[in-house]
Amino acid sequence: MKENITSELEELRKEFEEYVKVRVDLTKLHIAGELSRFFSNLMTKTVLLYLFFFVFMFFSLAAAFLLGKWMGSYALGFALMGGLFLLAALVFWLLRKRIIERPVVQHFIELMFPKFDHDEEE
C-alpha cells in the first residue's frame, strides 16, 4: 500500500515537473514571438520615420520658398515656416501625454500582459 502511494506520488511529481517545463517553454516562445514582433515593428517605424522626415523636410523647404516668393522676401517665408513649426511644437508639448505617453503605456501593458484565448473577457 505504501509503495503504491509512493509510486503514485512519484508519478505525480514527474507529471508536475513536465507540466512546469512545458509552461516555461510556452512562455519563452510567447516572449520570443512578442519581442520579435516588437522589434520588427520598431525597425519598420524607424525606416518610415526617416523617409517621412525627408519628405516633410523637402515639402517644408518648398513651402518656405513659395511663401517667400509670394511675400517678396525669402527670409520672411522661412520665418513663417519656422513660426508654424514652433506653433506645432507647442501644441505637441501641451498634448504630449494624450498623444504619446498614454498610448505607449497602454501598448506596453498589452505587450507584457497579453490576453490568451482562455482568459475571461471583460
At residue 76, the pLDDT reads 95
Q: Which three cell numbers stand for residue 88?
A: 506645432
Per residue in 25-74, pLDDT (tens digit) is 888 888 888 888 888 888 999 999 999 999 999 999 999 999 999 999 99
Q: Could you tell me the residue ranges of all domains in the chain? A: 2-112
Query: Around Cβ 5, how many Cβ atoms within 10 Å?
Result: 9
- What pLDDT does 122 receive? 45
> Interior CA angle at 105 toward 39 and 108, to 5°?
40
**How high is the mean pLDDT of the chain?**
86
pLDDT band for position 110 (50/70/90)? confident
Q: Residue 74 and residue 38: Cα distance in Å, rounded?
A: 44
Instruction: Give the model's pLDDT for residue 2.
Output: 74
Which region among 15-19, 24-28, 98-102 has the lowest average model confidence (pLDDT)? 98-102
pTM of the full predicted structure? Answer: 0.55
What is the rounded distance in angstroms from the CA atom of residue 106 to the CA atom of residue 68? 44
Q: What are 22's three cell numbers?
A: 512545458
The answer to whether 75 and 68 are in contact (CB under 8 A) is yes
pLDDT reading at 3 higher than 90: no
Of 77 and 121, which is predicted with more confidence?
Answer: 77
